[in-house]
């Protein structure tokens, strides 16, 4: 019976074992049966002597040396259990994910723990969190994502870190776009506040008010563009790390957009501009949950 070359067998088993780590950290469903993933090392080692030797080599690369005098596979399973425990931390609690240096002995585990931390914090950075706290936390999450990307780009073997490279790239994009959406919502709020000085019967046809309404329209269009980019990236990221923070869940976004109709309604301006603005607003918010959307 023909056998695969050792290099190809090692490549395949590396992908299989690393995917087990990923599924333990990011199960497709909370109800997922992880029996295979949690016992993959033992099962693969029982296939043949060649599988056992190759699995042992991969195990050391992924999990590191013996833990508290245990043999290789029990040590690896202890570290995998630690990752699973870290993955189960509730992001709503803001309870920190702890770095246990005895458990995290390799670049691979370090990168996965940092990824869990980064996604944990990113999921917490949504309403009702104040925008100021979001901005305070943003640099830490950004630095973690950059570090993961650096580890993934430099480490070997490449196939072991392929998923981490993809996930860190997606996370960086989501973190960047999150801050952009907060900034653009602030710009929209500023222009809506500027309408207050025109909000009277005497200024109902004010050219200054019309210009500000045009700027509001431009703001909404910019927010719509960045939300589209965010949604595209979030859809890709969800395949790796599960559901993502939705753009309208970011601090201040709904609050800014939900006041647009009320703010512009007292003013008279061209029907074409009004229709275009309302259509853009409807397109932006059509899939937002009713309880989050308070447009009047």
> Does 290 score more than 80 pLDDT?
no
pLDDT of residue 293: 54
Residue 280 lies in a domain: yes
The tokens for 175 are 């973190």
Which residues, including other chains, have CB under 8 Å from residue 209's CB and lie 6 or more apart?
A: 195, 198, 203, 267, 269
Domain closes at, from 109, 136, 151: 109
Give pLDDT tens digits for 244-266. 999 999 999 999 999 998 888 88
pLDDT tens digits along 57-109: 999 999 998 888 888 899 999 999 999 988 887 655 555 666 677 788 899 99
Whether residue 159 is contained in a domain is answered as no
Residue 295 has pLDDT above 70, yes or no: no
Q: Would you state the pLDDT for residue 90?
A: 67
Round to whole Å and give the CA distance between 142 and 175.
7
Give me the mean pLDDT over the 31-43 stretch.
87
User: What percent of the chain is modeled with pLDDT above 90?
Assistant: 59
DSSP characters over 4-38: --HHHHHHHHHHHHHHHHHHHHS-SSTT---HHHH
Instruction: Tell me what the mean pLDDT of segment 209-235 comes to.
Output: 94
223 pLDDT exceeds 80?
yes
Give the pLDDT confidence of 116-150 residue by residue, as tens digits.
999 999 999 999 999 999 999 999 999 999 999 99
Same domain, 192 and 276: yes
Domain count within the chain: 2
Domain membership of residue 292 (yes or no) is: no
- Decide if 37 is inside a domain: yes
Domain contains 185: yes
* pLDDT number for residue 91: 57
Average the pLDDT over each of 22-31, 165-174, 234-243 and give the range with the smallest value.
22-31
Report pLDDT for 66: 84
Domain region containing 234: 174-285
Query: What CA–CA distance (Å, rounded) separates 58 from 277?
Result: 58
| pLDDT greater than 60 at residue 15 | yes
Domain-embedded: residue 27:
yes
Instruction: Provide the pLDDT for residue 20.
Output: 93
Q: Residue 175 above 90 pLDDT?
A: yes
What was the pLDDT predicted at 198?
A: 80
Confidence of residue 1 (pLDDT cuts 50, 70, 90): very low
* Cα–Cα distance measured from residue 237 to residue 223, given in angstroms and rounded to the nearest whole number: 21
Instruction: Say if residue 59 is preceded by a cis peptide, omega within 30 of 0.
Output: no
Q: Would the pLDDT of 203 be above 60?
A: no
Contact 77, 55 (CB under 8 A): no
Query: Of the candidates 112, 103, 101, which has an alpha carbon nearest to the alpha carbon of residue 21?
Result: 112
Q: What is the pLDDT of residue 296?
A: 38
Task: Indicate whether 99 belongs to any domain.
Answer: yes
Residue 201 is assigned to a structural domain of this protein: yes
pLDDT of residue 188: 97
Q: At what angle do helices 6-25 and 49-63 cross, to 10 degrees?
A: 50
């Amino acid at each position: 019976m023909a056998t695969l070359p050792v290099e190809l067998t090692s490549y395949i088993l590396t992908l299989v074992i690393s995917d087990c780590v990923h599924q333990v950290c990011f199960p497709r469903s909370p109800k997922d049966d992880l029996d295979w993933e949690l016992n993959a090392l033992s099962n693969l080692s029982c296939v043949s002597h060649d599988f056992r030797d190759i699995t042992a080599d991969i195990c050391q690369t992924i999990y590191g040396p013996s833990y508290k005098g245990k043999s290789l596979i029990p040590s690896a399973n202890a570290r995998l259990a630690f990752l699973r425990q870290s993955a189960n931390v509730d992001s709503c609690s803001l309870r920190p994910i702890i770095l246990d240096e005895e458990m995290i002995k390799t670049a691979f585990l370090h990168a996965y723990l940092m990824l869990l931390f980064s996604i944990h914090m990113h999921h917490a950075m949504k309403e009702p969190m104040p925008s100021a706290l979001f901005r305070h936390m943003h640099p830490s999450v950004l630095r973690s994502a950059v570090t993961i990307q650096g580890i993934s780009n430099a480490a070997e073997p490449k196939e072991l870190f392929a998923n981490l490279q993809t996930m860190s790239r997606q996370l960086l994009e989501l973190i960047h776009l999150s801050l952009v959406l907060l900034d653009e919502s602030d710009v929209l709020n500023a222009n809506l506040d500027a309408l207050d000085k025109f909000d009277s019967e005497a200024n109902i046809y004010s050219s200054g008010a019309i210009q500000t309404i045009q700027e509001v329209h431009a703001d909404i269009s910019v927010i719509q563009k960045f939300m589209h980019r965010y949604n595209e990236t979030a859809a890709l990221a969800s395949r790796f790390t599960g559901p993502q923070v939705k753009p309208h869940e970011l601090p201040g976004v709904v609050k800014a957009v939900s006041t647009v109709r009320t703010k512009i309604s007292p003013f008279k301006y061209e029907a074409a501009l009004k229709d275009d603005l309302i259509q853009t607003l409807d397109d932006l918010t059509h899939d937002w949950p009713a309880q989050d959307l308070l447009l009047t």
